[in-house]
Amino acid sequence: MVNVVVLDYGSGNLRSAERALARAGAEVSVTADFKAAMEADGLVVPGVGAFSACMRGLKAVRGEQVIGRRLAGGRPVLGICVGMQILFAEGVEHGEHTEGCGEWPGVVERLDAPILPHMGWNTVQAPEGSVLFAGLDAATRFYFVHSYGVRKFDLEAGPGFAQPLVTWAEHGVPFVAAVENGPLMATQFHPEKSGDAGAVLLKNWLGTL
């Protein structure tokens, strides 16, 4: 059984992530302990609320260092919702610019949609070769709750660097719904709240550990 740490940095939704991962077959602990987060087979970074608040909480537990060091060693990290957003370079909310972890280029900004937040079930367009979405068809729906997202993803393949697999969804405008980039993966939606489909996705992720 693989060991997974859900990083506790003051953001909500920890226990539902813990339960969903346990049901998917992992041994799960919820902690802010640096050593435990570094040594786990997999690290899950959840997140709800404002980008700036999540970044403050993350830095308070040295979470950005944990993420960076794990990825430098090829150790898997999964971001969920705002836990995905903070992996990008910058978040802009109410005119406030906040620096993110910078693992991917891109800006998290307000969606241009007639109704916000984007709350409820939506389909996604996963690319060919996706590991996270293996076994799930195009009609599968996932649960979203957000008003902000990444509307443009610019990261090309390079020497020794494969092109990330980007999954898209649409609410008013297209936005990034998931990214698979070697050991770093993330979803804008909540797999832990997405029923059977979310359980399949989490099992697929655990299979990469």
Check whether 159 has a pLDDT greater than 70: no
Q: How confident is the model at residue 155 (pLDDT cuts 50, 70, 90)?
A: confident
Which pLDDT score is estimated for 33?
A: 97
Residue 158 has pLDDT above 80, yes or no: no
CB 39 within 8 A of CB 27: no
Number of neighbours of residue 72 by Cβ within 10 angstroms: 9
**Which pLDDT does position 11 carry in this prediction?**
81
pLDDT value at residue 156: 67
List alpha helices for the chain, DSSP H: 14-23, 34-39, 51-60, 63-72, 82-85, 195-206
**Residue 54 a catalytic site member:** no
Q: How confident is the model over 24-66, as pLDDT tens digits?
A: 999 999 999 999 999 999 999 999 889 999 999 999 999 999 9
Is the pLDDT confidence value at 160 over 80? no
Residues for the chain: how many in total?
209
Q: DSSP 3-state assignment of 51?
A: helix
Percent of the chain with pLDDT over 70: 97
User: Choosing from 18, 81, 101, 171, which is the catalytic residue?
Assistant: 81
Task: Give the mean pLDDT of 160-189.
Answer: 94
Mean pLDDT of the chain: 95
Place of tokens 């979310």: 198
Work out the average pLDDT over 103-124.
96
Q: Helix, strand or coil for residue 150?
A: strand
Share of the chain above pLDDT 90, in %: 89
Whole-Å CA distances, 12 to 8, 16, 82, 132: 9, 9, 10, 23
* 3-state SS class at 10: coil
Asked if 27 is an active-site residue, the reply is: no
Which DSSP symbol is given to 117?
Answer: S
Contacts of 177 (CB under 8 A, 6+ apart): 124, 125, 142, 167, 168, 169, 187, 188, 189
Q: Give the pLDDT band (50/70/90) at residue 203.
A: very high
* 103 in active site: no
- Give the residue from 78, 13, 12 showing the smallest Cα distance to 40: 78
> Which amino acid is it at 22?
A
Domain 3-206 has CATH 3.40.50.880: yes
User: Catalytic one among 64, 109, 180, 192?
Assistant: 192
Q: What is the pLDDT of residue 157?
A: 59
pLDDT for residue 171 is more than 80:
yes
Q: What is the residue whose two structure tokens read 């570094």?
A: 38
Query: Which residues 6+ apart lie within 8 Å of 138 measured at CB?
Result: 123, 125, 126
Could you report the per-residue pLDDT of 59-73, keeping only the tens digit for each?
999 999 999 999 999
Cis peptide before 117 (omega within 30 of 0): yes
